[in-house]
Structure 1
Amino acid sequence: MDIKRKGSLEIWTMILSFIVLVFTMLGVCLHIGFVHKIDLAAFNWFDRMFEEPAMNYSGGWFNDIMTIVASYGDVLTFVLLSIAGAIILIVKRYYLLSLWILATVGFGGILGVILKAVFHRSRPYDHLLVDTGFSFPSGHSLSSTLIAMILLSVVMPKFSNKALRFTAYVMIAVLWGSILFSRLYFHAHFLTDVLGGTALGILWVLGMKYIGHLITPFLQKLPLLKKSKIYTLCTK
């Protein structure tokens, strides 16, 4: 994909994510009947298909997979991965990229917590006891999307080996999709919670890419960051 097409795709992705985020926020805030019907239809479908699965390793291979991704695809895991990645980048002297990742994941997570407190939405009535806190937006969905989007839009495009790059894309997409699916499978969230968290994560990462691209020249002038290797965030 050429630079111009990639830039255009990111812009349209941001626009679509913004529309989805606003749609879910208004639906939750204003208790719009149409949005409630969507949530109810999705909830009933999962209930009919999987009933009320327990998060353990005694419900078959599919339940085992869902349990794994739900247990380890949480906010803490992605925060630790972000910190570990940032440390590796600091060692390799990519100081600006390290700061960008920490800021993107950190502030994105904080924004999610603020929105949960603002919307104050209760979880589905039969959610697992391990799932606590408010429901909108989904924390698992937001945090996994932040990391997935950083990998897909910032890290993976730099891979020169096409086969390796394609394999990585598929693995990340499958893991990401599995985490999102698990939130509905275990009745941890409504569909709009997952859509809202995902849209917020996509919009946040792509927005932070452009912000990082704009402020990098100024940050390079700071004494502590002058020796930082430059990692291009945007293709424009």
Structure 2
Amino acid sequence: MEPSGPPEFNKVMKEYEVKATAKIQIGLALLALLIFIVLTWGVVQDTNWIAAIDNAGFHLIREPLSPNRTWFFKNVTRAGNEKWSLTLMFILALIFIFQRKAKATIFLILNVSVFGLGLSTVLKMVIDRPRPHIVHLIQAHGLSFPSGHTMNAVLLYGSLIILSNYYLSNDGLRFALNAVLGVIIIALPLSRIYLGVHYPTDVIAGYALGFTMLMLSKFAIFRFQDHEVKIK
């Protein structure tokens, strides 16, 4: 609901709300970064509490295995693979360039290609954690920590949620799109645990670092800018 009162007062209050929200998001991003650092230390040190989290997570999400759940998660997990992420990023970037939305283009490319794919690959090589020694329900290669699919989910689909809030004026369309994207952000990382190709702590770390990068890039590119509604 729009605030009532003189236009100048409303403008000041709106600017205050936008800045307060941004500061909260930055605080949550720093908290998420701390969580990632703690998890990384625990994985590198091979601590018992990391093993306890992983065992509990596998028990909660992976059991029971069933044909229907396996079919569902096999299809969901495709939304986070590298080829699909880059293809979707490329198509959307071309649309943003055509519409002369430089900030949206930079924001999307930075999050998907640099953070979602590049940073996760480098960290995997540095941390060097093998994938879980359990039955994999799909083929997966490479290392495990942090989960690249989870980072892709947060950074790609999270970027689209943020951009829809900036550029879509149709409330119904924006709500429906964000609901679908939110489901993907939740279901895709869970699929990696269910399919046995990632430890739960890989996924938690992917969530934490992905959210950190998403909020920091949002602040760096859009800063305290209010929603710029252009698309009906």
TM-score band, normalised by shorter chain: 0.7 to 0.9
- Partner residue in 2 for 1:80: 87
2:209 counterpart of 1:206: no
Q: Which runs of structure 2 are paired with 1:77-116 in the superposition (5 Å)?
A: 77-108=84-115, 109-116=117-124
SS in structure 2 at match of 1:131: coil
TM-score, normalized by length of structure 1?
0.80
Q: How many residue pairs align between the two structures? A: 210
2:145 counterpart of 1:131: no
Query: Deviation per CA, 1:43-85, whole angstroms, max 9, x where unpaired?
Result: 23344x224x6xxxxx22x332212111343122111111111
- Pick the aligned partner of 1:196 from 200, 205, 213: 205
SS in structure 2 at match of 1:50: coil
In structure 2, how many angstroms separate the alpha carbons of the residues matched to 1:38 and 1:75? 27
Percent identity (aligned):
26
2:59 counterpart of 1:41: no
AA of the residue aligned to 1:50? P
TM-score, normalized by length of structure 2?
0.81
- Partner residue in 2 for 1:50: 64
C-alpha root-mean-square deviation of aligned residues, in Å?
2.2
- Pick the aligned partner of 1:10 from 20, 25, 43: 25
Alpha-carbon offset, residue 17 of structure 1: 1.3
Alpha-carbon offset, residue 96 of structure 1: 4.0
- Partner residue in 1 for 2:39: 24
- Partner residue in 2 for 1:70: 77
In structure 1, how many angstroms separate the alpha carbons of the residues matched to 2:103 and 2:181? 24
In structure 1, how many angstroms separate the alpha carbons of the residues matched to 2:164 and 2:53? 35
- Partner residue in 2 for 1:161: 170
Consecutive unaligned residues in structure 2, runs of 5 or more: 2-16, 228-232
Alpha-carbon offset, residue 112 of structure 1: 0.5
Consecutive unaligned residues in structure 1, runs of 5 or more: 54-58, 215-232
Shift of the 9–70 alpha-carbon distance from structure 1 to 2, 3 Å rule, reads same
* C-alpha contact 1:146 1:201 (8 A) present in aligned 2: yes
Query: Deviation per CA, 1:97-119, whole angstroms, max 9, x where unpaired?
Result: 31332122211021100000011
Alpha-carbon offset, residue 213 of structure 1: 4.1
SS in structure 2 at match of 1:16: helix
